[in-house]
Every structure is written in C-alpha cells, then in structure tokens.
Amino acid sequence: MSVVDAAYDEAVKTVESCVKKIQRAYNDIAHKVSWALKFLPDPLDKQVRTEMGKLHDKYKEHEVMMADLWLERGSAGALRDAANEWVLKVGGVASKQSTELAFAAMPSNGVWEGDAQKAYRPIVDLHSRVLNDFFNWNGDLSDTLNALADALKVYWVAIAIDAVGCAVALAACAVAGETVVALAAAIVAAVGAIVAFWVAVAGHTVLYHNTLDALEGKLVKIRAINGEDARWPHGAADLSDASVLDGDKSGWERPL
C-alpha cells in the first residue's frame, strides 16, 4: 500500500465493508417483515407490504448502481505509477539525450568550422531544444496524472464517509424493526438512508467530474503544444555542403 494513497486504499476497503453491512441490514429487515406479516392486521399489513416493496425496489437499484460504481472505481496507485513511468522512462531519457546532444557536448565542437558547420549547428540545437521541451511536457503530464490520483482519492474518501453513515442508518432501522409498531417507520427510514447516500454520491461525482474536465483541459494543452501529429520537427538548414564524398569542396573546415 502506497503511503501517499493509504487513504484511498482504506476508503475503498471501507466502502466494500459497508456494502456488505448494508446488505445484511436489508436482509435482516426483510426477514423481520416476513415474520411480522404472518399475524399483522389488515391496515398495518398493507402498509408494511407497501413500504417493503419500496425498500426492495430501492435496494435492488442500489445494488446495480454500486456494481457500476465499483467496476469503474479506478486506481490512484496505478495513476501514480504511470506518472512515474513517464518521468523516469521517457522524460529522463529525453533529458539525458538533450544534454548529450547539446552543441557544446558534441565531439565535433571546436574541431570543425565553416559553412557546413554553421548549417549543421542549428539542427543540433533544434533537436536538443525539442528534447528538453519533451522532458518538460512529460513533467506536465506526470503532474496531471498525480492530480487525477489526488482527485480520485478525495472522491472515494467522501463516498466512504457516506457509506459508513448509510450502513449505520440501515443497521439502526433493522434494530428498530424489532417491534411491530415501529416496523413500517423503520422501513421508510431505511429507504430514506439509501436515497440520501446516492444523493451524496451524485454530489461527489459532479465535483469529481469538474476536476476531470479541468485536467482534461491541461492534457489537451500539452497535446496542442506537442503538435497534433506528434511528428519530430525537421530542420530547415541546407546541408548540401556537409558532404565530403560528392567531389566538390567541403563546407567543413578545421579551425586554424
């Protein structure tokens, strides 16, 4: 478990635990209703049946929505791993190549001069600069992925807090349903607890999506800077004088 994302990992475990507690509370309530319906008088029998039908429908809806949420929960750790990979395996290599390709670091520096050397140097400088820019773009991408991991962590911590509240409320409803008189009211309260949980989740989801939209804007900007086709830039210098094999005088000259 990553120290940075310990809260995310704990939140996911908490939600998973609460889902099981909510299921047990629902089953407990359903069991009490089945028992009570054997001897309830008509007016109360009808009321309990009606309210239990609502709870049944709401709980089944809850199961479907929770399954969808769980399947799409993502992974803060995986996002941070991807961020590190971009920096270390891609950005790090680009930075190293940029330094090694700098004109001052070239073995030919100070050895050759002339028209060919003047035409060749902008090409070297261009590639060195672009490699350095590429390193910076990787840093921006890494920052964006880490920000996404942070947003995912905040999202699931918020859901975990509400899941605990829902599980506690359902457990209390199951206890309250021990008495026949309070059974209908307990069922109504259970429906309200599930509804309140998903209203809260909807609010957290809106905030999370707002963050995703902002981060998507940063990624679009990175792509725009890098070029739509992601092609390596070509130098515009004329290198025709750089050849020493075409029979004419070479543009390369050794300094005096």
Give the per-residue pLDDT at 5.
Answer: 81
Tokens 């001052």: give the residue: 104
Give the per-residue pLDDT at 72.
Answer: 86
Q: What percent of the chain has pLDDT over 70?
A: 73
Show the tokens assigned to 73.
């929960």
Q: 45-49, 105-109, 173-177, 231-235: lowest mean pLDDT where? A: 231-235
Can you tell me whether residue 39 is helix, strand or coil?
Answer: coil
Q: How do residues 243-254 score in pLDDT, each as one tens digit?
A: 544 555 555 556
With beta carbons less than 8 A apart as the criterion, state whether 92 and 24 touch: no
With beta carbons less than 8 A apart as the criterion, state whether 156 and 73 touch: yes
Show the tokens assigned to 220.
């679009």
**Residue 81 to residues 49, 52, 86, 113, 143, Cα–Cα distance (Å):** 52, 47, 9, 46, 12
Whether residue 161 is predicted with pLDDT greater than 80 in this model: the reply is yes
Q: 2-11, 16-25, 81-90, 111-120: lowest mean pLDDT where? A: 111-120
Of 62 and 114, the one with more pLDDT: 62
Give the per-residue pLDDT at 4.
Answer: 72
Give the per-residue pLDDT at 211.
Answer: 92
Q: What percent of the chain has pLDDT over 90?
A: 40
Average of pLDDT values for 200-206?
96
Q: How do residues 205-228 score in pLDDT, each as one tens digit?
A: 999 999 998 888 877 777 766 655
Average of pLDDT values for 66-92?
84
